A and B are shown apart, each in its own frame.
Chain A
Amino acid sequence: MSILPQTLVDGLVTGSSYTLLALGFALIYSISGFLNVAHAEFYMIGAYGAILVTGAIGGAIFGAAAGALAVTVIGGALLYSIVLRRLNNQQHMAAFIATAGVGMFLQYGTARVLGVREREFPQIAATRGIDLGLVNVSPAQLLVIVVTAIFAALLMQWIRRSTMGRDIRAVAENEEAAALVGVRVRRIKLITICVATALAGVAGVLLGNLYGVLTPFVGSEMGLNMFVVVLVAGIGSLGGVVFTGLALGLVQALSIAYLGSQWQYFAGMIVLLLVLLVRPQGLFGRRLRSG
């Protein structure tokens, strides 16, 4: 039997997780002009938040979601208030260094407080596959794909259709001009950054459930793939980030299936290199658009 259908499903699952994370990263870059190197660590602290809250009050999926969202939204608000708000738009290197520091603080702080050993994630959807003939899909995998699709669609509609989405696009394009038409720039930045980190928290719940275990260092690998997605897509098009996230997942899955697992990340890097050679601004690069 052909392994292609199963490979495509696996690729979609991996790609969906990259997409959720990369959407938030792209949002923060668009609104602030800063590369939030710590973004993948919000995925990790979101997953730990889910473990702690479900451990304390139970509630499976709702407890996990509440824990992850609470930790990542508060974390996002602190990231903006303590770090990013103090930097002006030209201080890119300072922002890079500061957020790298925040990332390390989150990673090693979590390791110090909660330990480095693997933690079991509470199961919110079964990870055992269901045989559908051509493919074997688990409810946990389906949850990753469906939730990512819903959140990506909601995010794009919010940015495109809502008044706040218009304000976000205004700030992303020209912060001063936005202030001159009455947009409360700091408030919009704070909300956008909290939404972005919350998306990372959602990814934490979905992938924590899928993989079943967690360490404080899971963010590093995800962070690398998130960077590849955003660099290939180019900053500015959320639709482009979704397409590229899914495409990278598929490329990696196909590489594992047909070339061997050692090719998984190398294939992504080759795609990145080729795109940057031909289109340095990325496939869809320009200022923030919803499409």
Chain B
Amino acid sequence: MEQYKDLIFSASFFFVIIRVCVPLMFASMSAYTANLSGLPNIAVEGIMLIAAIMGVLGSVWTHSAWLGLLVAIASGILMALILAFSAIKLKTTPIMGGIALNVFASSFTVFLLFVITGSKGTTASLPSKVLPTIHIPIIKDIPILGEIISGHNVLAYICMITAVLVYILVYKTKFGLHMRASGLDENAARSVGINVNRVRFTSLILSGILAAMGGAYLSMGYLSFFTANMTASRGWIGIAAEAMGRGNFITVLLTTLVFGVFDAITNVLSLTNLPSELLQTIPYLAVFFAIIAYSIKEYNKKKRNNA
């Protein structure tokens, strides 16, 4: 136990937390933007997976990591549009559409993998590119802070910037108001002249882009290749975090952060002799207790206001 203490109480541990949180943050932002407009996107996992492999393949075809990222994003938009089209135009239950896309993605990625590489495991045999890591000037020379914040993959910084942008979009712009209105009451929104369908299409495209960046981060930053089913439920965790936040963006992000922090702690604790089955439940339990604490606080606040 002693020997692993340094792994947690160090600057590099906070660096690891950021690295672990990035794909989760993208996933929860993706689930958030879709659900806010009233069209839940449970295909986050599938979109991430498709984008992860398309990013790698795109970078092989174009010899450029950035164009690879664009291919990943395009595939994410396409997936999201399929969901939006089937839900809005064809009146499919979005949940069923999402399940279909998830099932499709987990098999189709392995199929693509096999057709292109002849392997069902990884794209490691392809000369794929990786998005650059950024060492921020000045900040990187500050002790501790530099160690934590500098040296991440470029998508980690894009993730932070996107979080701010999504916040502004949702709470400070007219379109954000329309998104929230469409989600709260579609008929009321229509009655005041909001084109609900267009708002939802746009939100889904945004959701697709966010999920795709999360997927591309996994295969072009976190790792330098795609492996079958590498998302390993990160999309679902994003959806769960979104549900916990109940429409409040900050709560969504905090829930994701709690999960990411405890996931990183679990990765350290797994080196100790504690039973691994128990350890693997820690991040989920942490979120569970965090949400109970949050609910109690909210409940008390309401009670005080009513009194």
Specify whether A and B are partners: no
